[in-house]
């Protein structure tokens, strides 16, 4: 459901902004990696316009990949870790100044590996009450708010 804001932007019910058809479109996948203690793995970007912002790890889908395949590839490339993708939690639509982001967020857990940082500056395991302790990128913040409302298991 769309709502119009004072500045005439269209806001999705999940907090994202409606896309301008002239804007560059980027589709990505993100891993909400959790452990047996219901902590969430957060990473801090080490490059680009959003350097130092916190995010769920992941990246762009390649042609012909399913979202799950893309997520497993991206996490291997970024963290040298094999994950098991459990389920889709939320798809966020968000307008950044230079592009429109579609981000498919999946609940995952580590199958093997040690979450070794290859592209990120830092990483943290955060408990539910610590989720707001880092400066999340805007699209990721939508998911953080949802995770903060209940248990990891309750995000279906």
* Model confidence pLDDT, tens digit, residues 52-82: 899 999 999 999 999 999 999 999 999 999 9
Average pLDDT over the chain reads 85
Asked if residues 95 and 23 have their Cβ atoms less than 8 Å apart, the reply is: yes
Which residues are within 8 A (CB) of 129 and not within 5 positions of it... i.e. 6 or more apart? none
CA-wise closest residue to 42 among 120, 155, 106: 120
* 82: three-class secondary structure by DSSP: strand
Band (151; pLDDT cuts 50, 70, 90): low
Residues 27, 58: contact at Cβ < 8 Å?
no
pLDDT at 17 over 80: no
In the three-class reduction of DSSP (H, G, I as helix; E, B as strand; rest coil), residue 32 is classed as strand
Residue scoring higher pLDDT (143 or 50): 143
Q: Name the residue with higher pLDDT: 6 or 133.
A: 133
Note the pLDDT tens digit of each residue in 69-119. 999 999 999 999 999 999 999 999 999 999 999 999 999 999 999 999 998
DSSP H or E segment with residue 78: helix 67-79
Query: What whole-number percentage of the chain has pLDDT above 70?
Result: 83
Q: Residue 7 has which token pair?
A: 């500045």
Residue position matching structure tokens 């999340």: 136
Q: Which long-range contacts (CB under 8 A, 24 or more apart) does 109-114 make?
A: 109/33, 109/34, 109/35, 109/83, 109/84, 110/33, 110/35, 110/81, 110/82, 110/83, 110/84, 111/81, 111/82, 111/83, 111/84, 112/81, 112/82, 113/79, 113/80, 113/81, 113/82, 114/80, 114/81
Q: Is residue 11's pLDDT more than 70?
A: no
């Amino acid at each position: 459901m769309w709502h119009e804001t004072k500045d005439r932007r269209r806001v999705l019910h999940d907090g994202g902004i409606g896309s301008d058809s002239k804007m560059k479109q980027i589709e990505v996948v993100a891993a909400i990696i959790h452990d047996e203690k219901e902590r969430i793995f957060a990473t801090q970007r080490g490059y680009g316009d959003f350097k130092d912002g916190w995010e769920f790890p992941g990246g762009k889908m390649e042609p012909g990949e399913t979202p799950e395949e893309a997520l497993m590839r991206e996490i291997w490339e970024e963290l040298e870790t094999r994950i098991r993708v459990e389920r889709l939690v939320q798809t966020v639509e968000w307008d950044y100044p230079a592009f429109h982001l579609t981000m498919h967020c999946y609940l995952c857990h580590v199958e093997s590996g040690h979450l070794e940082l290859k592209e990120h500056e830092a990483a943290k395991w955060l408990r539910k009450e610590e989720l707001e302790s880092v400066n999340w990128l805007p699209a990721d913040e939508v998911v953080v708010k949802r995770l903060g409302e209940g248990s990891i298991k309750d995000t279906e």
